[in-house]
Structures are given as C-alpha cells and as structure tokens.
Chains A and B, each alone.
Chain A
Amino acid sequence: MEKRLEAFFAAARGIRLTAGESLRLKDNLDRFVAKTPVRVRGEACHSADMNRSEIEFKASVEALRVTPEEDRAMENAIFAFVKAHPVRLKEGEEEERWMDFSWLLQPMRFMAVTASAVLLVGAGGVAYASASALPGDALYSVKVNVNEEIEGLLQWSPESRAQWRARRVARRLAEAQALAEVGQLDDVRANSIARLLERQMNDAQGGLKQLEDAGAGVAAVTLSAEAVRRSIAGLGL
C-alpha cells in the first residue's frame, strides 16, 4: 500500500475517544433511548432499570421450579458438551490487557460506534429490549444477529475478538440452561441453540487458531465447565 495511505490509516487508528468522552457518549445514548422508547401497543418496551422481558423472565423463573434431577441432568449434559468441545483462549500481552477493560477506553471505532448508535436509536431501543431474549422469543434473532454482531465489531484486537467469541458460546449455554429451568427447552429451541453453538464454537476455535498462528498471547485459558457454571450463575437465576 502507498505510504501516504498507510500514514492516513495510522492517523485514523490513532483517533481516540477519551474515557470521559466515551462515558458521556454512553450516558447520552442511554438517556436518548430512555427518552424515546419503542412502544408496543402503547407501552414502552423497556425502562431505565430493567426491560420488561427481563422482569417477565425472572417472574416466570420464580414461578416455575425444576426438580433437582432435571437440573443435574441439564448441567451434566451442558458440561459434557463443553468438555467435548473445549474453547481455548490466549490472553494478550501484558501491555495490551488494558484493552479488555472496556471498549469505552479503546480507540474510536468509527463504523462500529456509529453503527451501534444508529441501530440502538434507529431501531428505537429494540436492541436493548432484546438483550435478554431467549430462543423462541421474537427478539432472539435481533439479539443474536444484531446485538451480538455489533458487540463483535467493538472487539478490535484479535485477543478481545477471540474472548468475545468465547463469551458468545457461554451465552448460548446459559440460554439452554435458562430455558431448561423454565421447562421450555423443546426440540425446536434445543436445535436452534445447538446450530448456533456449533457455528460459534467453530468461530471461537478459528479465532484461537489465528492467535496461535500469529504467535500472540502468553497464557492459555480453557473455557472450562466451571467457567460455564459461573456464567450461568451470572444470570442471577
């Protein structure tokens, strides 16, 4: 590539939002979305604190109980799957670890930041409401195909992208667990999760291979059954 183009892109990559600017951007975006909610049959789909699907989901979980046997069987199935399909990540070099603290501190990502703003606002907050959608929910497709893809665009180093891919896999497992707990893990939903899992596992492993090929990273981390257990616990169920 021509030198002047290289110099141009180097300058472009160097443009950063300061931590303060990033926080203000996020605050303002939150406020704007809260002020202009999407309405379904006259009702706002989300509140400042918690969206309705989260409230409904928690309520349904509280109302339904799985037997200890069902719970154990589901966990065993998930952990066996994870064990058979391990996802390994390599952590970045020490000086690059700060990148993982938050995308807010990363260099400005022109397209991704703009696209997320446009999608969050342009879609009128649907992306917010879908964050807790589960397979079978109308918003699940938005969550998987829009929210998560944007989240992926915000991962700008190969390391953080690989970690994001692994988080995505953990999310699918957590969703399976969540559905099982409310007795809704039917064949259709299980298949839908399994298909996504297969694709995303491949992505995650592909990302790891890229890291290995590039000789990046120092410590290997295994997405163990324990990590998945923690991610499920993180749902607060």
Chain B
Amino acid sequence: MASLETLREDGFDPGVEDEALGRDVIAEENVLNVLKDVEEPYRTAVVMRFIEGLEPREIAEALGESANVVSVRITRGLKKLSSLLPDGEET
C-alpha cells in the first residue's frame, strides 16, 4: 500500500500544511511523531481502537482479520506506545 510520502512524490498534495489557526501545532506534531514510531500493523490497530473509537469487532471486520488478532495488535501497539512516551508526560 502506498504511503502518503509516496503519493506526494507522485504529485499528490494533501493541502494541509497551511496556517496553524491558533492550534497547538507542536503538541499535534509530537502526537503524530510518536504514532509514526509505532510499527504497522500495530499503529493502525491502536489508532482505530483509541482514536477512531471502533470496537475490536468492528476493526476486525474492516481489516478482514479475526477479533483475536486485532486484540493482540492493540495490546502490542499500546505496549510500544507506552514505551515511547516519557514517564509522566502529559502530551
């Protein structure tokens, strides 16, 4: 599957690099950078579960995997994420 970087090389511009509009862009970038360091397929599982708010059953259906596989990915993804966040950090 093509990454956003590959798409950009092919000429696709997501058009989201503009004004900050008062947002805490540094905090947002930190969040994205930390997420980027969680490898696939664990990142997708964690994002779908805790950011999208989907149930493991729904994630399993969307990804074509079993709910057990999804649960394992979520657990491993969380563990990795936890190791990436400094102790006591309130991102």
Contact = CB atoms under 8 A, between A and B. Distances in A.
Interface of A: 1-2, 4-5, 7-9, 11-13, 15-18, 20-21, 24-25, 27-29, 32, 35-36, 109-112, 114, 117-118, 121-122, 149, 152-153, 156
Contacts of A13: 51
Interface string B23-66: 10001100110110000000010011011111000000010000
Interface string B47-91: 110111110000000100000000000000010011001011111
Nearest to A33: B12
A9 B78 CA distance: 11
Majority SS at the chain A contact face:
helix
Nearest to B3: A118
Contacts of B62: 149, 152-153
Given A12-B51, A25-B15, 14 more contacts: A8-B34, A8-B91, A11-B91, A12-B50, A13-B51, A15-B31, A25-B14, A28-B13, A28-B15, A29-B14, A110-B47, A118-B1, A118-B4, A156-B53
Nearest to A13: B51
A117 B1 contact: no
Nearest to A16: B23
A175 B34 CA distance: 44
Interface residues of B, number: 40
Contacts of A35: 11
Given A25-B15, A118-B7, A121-B7, A9 B50 contact: yes
A21 B7 contact: no
Contact of B2 (A1, A27, A118): A118
Nearest to B84: A8
B12 A28 contact: yes
13 contacts: A4-B89, A5-B78, A8-B34, A11-B28, A11-B31, A24-B16, A27-B15, A32-B7, A109-B51, A110-B47, A111-B47, A121-B2, A149-B62
